[in-house]
Amino acid sequence: MSFLWHGLTQAWHLIVTGDPYLRHLIWVTIKVVVVSTAVAIVVGLPIGLLLGLGNFPGRRLGMAVANAGLVLPPVVVGLVLSLLMFPAAPLGRFHLLFTLRGVYLAQILLALPIVVALSAAAVRAVPAGLLAQARALDASTAQVWALALREARLGIVAALIAAVGSALSEVGAVVLVGGNIEGSDQTLASATIEQVNAGHFADAAAIGIVLLGLIAVVIGVLTIIQQRDETSLTLFRSG
Q: Mind giving me the DSSP string for 107-149?
A: HHHHHHHHHHHHHHHHHHTS-HHHHHHHHHTT--HHHHHHHHH
Predicted pLDDT at 230:
62
Predicted pLDDT at 6:
72
| Cα dihedral 129, 135, 137, 139 sign | positive
pLDDT band (50, 70, 90) for residue 56: confident
Report the mean per-residue pLDDT for the chain.
87
Predicted pLDDT at 30:
95
What amino acid is encoded at 104 in this protein? Y
Closest C-alpha among 214, 173, 216, 215 to residue 193: 173
pLDDT in tens, 145-192: 888 888 888 889 989 999 999 999 999 898 999 999 988 999 999 999
Reply yes or no on whether the pLDDT at 142 is more than 70: yes
Predicted pLDDT at 16:
79
As a whole number of Å, the end-to-end CA separation of the chain is 54
Domains along the chain with CATH numbers: 2-229 (1.10.3720.10)
Average pLDDT estimate for 79-103: 94
Average pLDDT estimate for 110-115: 95
Element (H, E) at 14: helix 2-16
Reply yes or no on whether the pLDDT at 4 is more than 70: no
The distance of Cα 117 from the centroid of its chain, to the nearest Å, equals: 13
State the CB neighbour count (10 A cutoff) for residue 62: 18
pLDDT band (50, 70, 90) for residue 201: confident
pLDDT band (50, 70, 90) for residue 1: low
pLDDT in tens, 19-41: 888 899 999 999 999 999 999 99
Predicted pLDDT at 141:
81
Predicted pLDDT at 233:
53
Average pLDDT estimate for 40-65: 91
Predicted pLDDT at 231:
61
pLDDT band (50, 70, 90) for residue 49: very high
Share of the chain above pLDDT 70, in %: 93
pTM to 2 decimal places: 0.88
Predicted pLDDT at 235:
47
Longest dimension (CA), the chain: 68
